[in-house]
């Protein structure tokens, strides 16, 4: 009797009229994909407000105090970030060798929240499956991209590879942009540091004051200086704070500032004099780079001129003469 009932049960009988089993599978797969992307969007929204960065800097002191303690995390609520953390923890990705490199790259890109590593690692393991499943549904179920059988899996494989490398490319691009912003902001920061040092402020007070002054114009450099000032206050060795600043950034200018500050603290050189010399060297290097770019312009403009400007110039100059010659031959 039970077997007869199971044989009479059909999933299609429970579906609305006009919707087949294939359509139901496509709808469920699409809804699952949209739900996954919505959860990731909620967790990976950019946090670029300066007020939030200041809050992270304020909490940095408490984090440094408790860095030597082993704290057990409380059970996470069922939030998107909690789900990501649970998945990453079960796969043991936070202790991998790749996690250390990713943590340094996240710091260079400006992502300093506690969940940034979890979001990044979860994106690396979920985006390949999400993109691959989406393209697979489009090609094999919806048939939006009809392909020969031998090339049917090529879009899905390409989508999986793109989903795997997309977070790394995005993070590297963000780190490069932030390094350029730091390089552009450094001359203004050095000038303010020279003024503060000549006014008699200590290095810690100088960094705090400069970070406040640059908060609206150059928030990236202000954030780095504020974190360094906090680390100088609480770390047992001041060189650790300078090393952390050097590791958080990939800018050559910041590296020069770090070396200057370390030498000043080690040999007792006057801070204002050292910063003034460094600012002069950076202005000279900046002018040299500008001159190099200006010297490369003629070579870079040669091909665009040959392709776009010279043909138009020839048409304007030789066009009327060519028309007159054609009219003359047409009359004869």
Q: What is the spatial distance between Cα 193 and Cα 228, in angstroms, rounded to a whole number? A: 14
What pLDDT is recorded for position 57? 62
Residues 105 and 228 in one domain: no
Q: Which residue has the higher pLDDT, 18 or 219?
A: 219
CB atoms within 10 A of CB 15: 13
Q: In terms of domains, do 170 and 213 share one?
A: no
The interaxial angle of helices 271-304 and 154-198, nearest 10 deg, is: 140
Q: How confident is the model at residue 73 (pLDDT cuts 50, 70, 90)?
A: very low
Q: 10 Å Cβ neighbour count for 183?
A: 19
Of the three residues 154, 180, 206, the one that is the final residue of a domain is 180
277 and 164 assigned to the same domain = no
Q: Are residues 253 and 203 in the same domain?
A: yes
Same-domain status, 16 and 129: yes
Q: Report the pLDDT averaged over residues 178-202.
A: 88
Q: At what angle do helices 238-248 and 219-234 cross, to 10 degrees?
A: 150
pLDDT digits (tens, 9 = 90+) for 286-306: 888 888 888 888 888 888 888
In Å, how far are 37, 132, 140, 169, 314 from 129, measured between CA atoms? 11, 5, 16, 18, 55
Determine which of 18-22, 84-88, 130-134, 324-328 has the lowest per-residue pLDDT on average: 18-22
Least confident of 88-102, 257-271, 299-313: 88-102
How does residue 50 score in pLDDT terms, banded at 50, 70 and 90? low
Could you tell me if residue 310 is inside a domain?
A: no
Determine the structural domain holding residue 139 and report its residue range.
Answer: 11-68+75-180
Helix (H, G, I), strand (E, B) or coil at 150: helix
pLDDT band at 70 (very low <50, low <70, confident <90, very high): very low
Query: CB neighbours of 104 closer than 8 A, spacing ≥ 6?
Result: 247
Q: Which two tokens stand for residue 133?
A: 């499943």
The DSSP 8-state label assigned to residue 145 in this structure reads: S
Domain count for the chain, please give it. 2
| Position 15 in a domain | yes
Q: Are residues 160 and 23 in the same domain?
A: yes
Helix extents (H) in the chain: 2-8, 21-43, 50-65, 80-90, 97-109, 116-140, 154-198, 203-213, 219-234, 238-248, 252-267, 271-304, 310-331
Instruction: State how far the Cα of 185 lies from the Cα of 282, in Å rounded to an integer.
Output: 12
The answer to the question of residue 34 being in a domain is yes
Residue 322 lies in a domain: no
* Alpha-carbon gap, residue 158 to 165, rounded angstroms: 11
| 46 has a pLDDT exceeding 70 | no
Is the pLDDT at 113 greater than 70, yes or no?
A: yes
**Any domain includes 49:** yes
Same domain? For 27 and 166 the reply is yes
Residue pair 207/265 in contact (Cβ under 8 Å)? The answer is: no
The answer to whether residue 169 is domain-embedded is: yes
Whether residue 2 is predicted with pLDDT greater than 60 in this model: the reply is: no
More confident residue, 327 or 114: 327
pLDDT tens digits, residue range 196-246?
988 888 888 999 999 999 888 888 899 999 999 988 888 888 888 888 888
User: How high is the pLDDT of residue 320?
Assistant: 86
**pLDDT (average), residues 48-61:** 58
For residues 201 and 122, state if they share a domain: no
Question: Do 142 and 46 belong together in one domain?
Answer: yes
* Amino acid 117: pLDDT: 85
Are residue 101 and residue 225 in the same domain, yes or no?
A: no
pLDDT at 15: 59
Residue 289 and residue 251: Cα distance in Å, rounded?
A: 15
* Rounded Cα–Cα distance for residues 303 and 89 (Å): 54
What pLDDT was estimated at residue 209? Answer: 92
Mean pLDDT, to the nearest integer, of 236-259? 86
Q: Is residue 267 assigned to a domain?
A: yes
Q: Which of 122, 157, 180 is at the close of a domain? A: 180
161 located within any domain: yes
Last-in-domain residue among 156, 180, 204 = 180
213 and 128 share one domain: no
Work out the mean pLDDT of the chain and round it to a whole number. Answer: 78
Whether residue 169 is found in the same domain as residue 82 = yes
Q: What is the dihedral of CA 262, 267, 271, 275, to 10 degrees?
A: -60
d(CA 119, CA 304): 43
Q: In a 3-state reduction of DSSP, which class is residue 75?
A: coil
């Amino acid at each position: 009797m039970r077997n007869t009932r199971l044989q009479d049960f059909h999933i299609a009988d429970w579906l609305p009229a006009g919707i087949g089993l294939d359509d139901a599978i496509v709808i469920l797969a699409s809804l699952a994909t949209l739900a996954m992307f919505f959860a990731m969007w909620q967790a990976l929204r950019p946090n670029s407000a300066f007020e939030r960065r200041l809050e992270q800097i304020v909490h940095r002191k408490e984090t440094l105090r408790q860095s030597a303690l082993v704290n057990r995390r409380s059970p996470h609520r069922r939030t998107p970030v909690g789900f990501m953390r649970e998945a990453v923890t079960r796969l043991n990705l936070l202790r991998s060798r790749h996690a250390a490199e990713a943590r340094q790259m996240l710091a260079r890109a400006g992502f300093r929240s506690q969940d940034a590593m979890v979001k990044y690692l979860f994106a690396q393991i979920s985006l390949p499956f999400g993109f691959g499943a989406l393209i697979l549904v489009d090609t094999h179920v919806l048939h939006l991209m009809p392909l020969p059988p031998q090339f049917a899996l090529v879009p899905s494989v390409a989508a999986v590879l793109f989903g795997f490398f997309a977070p790394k490319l995005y993070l590297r691009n963000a780190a490069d942009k932030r390094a350029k912003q730091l390089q552009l902001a450094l001359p203004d920061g050095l000038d303010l540091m020279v003024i503060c040092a000549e006014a008699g402020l200590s290095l810690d007070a100088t960094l705090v004051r400069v970070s406040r002054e640059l908060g609206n114009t150059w928030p990236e450099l202000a954030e780095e200086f504020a974190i360094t000032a906090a680390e100088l206050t609480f770390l047992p060795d001041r060189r650790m704070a300078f090393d952390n600043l050097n590791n958080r950034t990939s800018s050559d200018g910041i590296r020069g500032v770090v070396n200057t500050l370390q030498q000043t603290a080690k040999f007792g050189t006057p801070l204002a004099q050292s910063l003034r010399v460094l600012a002069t060297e950076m202005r000279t290097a900046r002018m040299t780079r500008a001159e190099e770019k200006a010297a490369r312009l003629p070579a870079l403009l040669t091909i665009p001129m040959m392709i776009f400007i010279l043909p138009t110039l020839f048409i304007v100059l030789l066009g009327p003469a060519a028309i007159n010659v054609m009219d003359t031959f047409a009359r004869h």
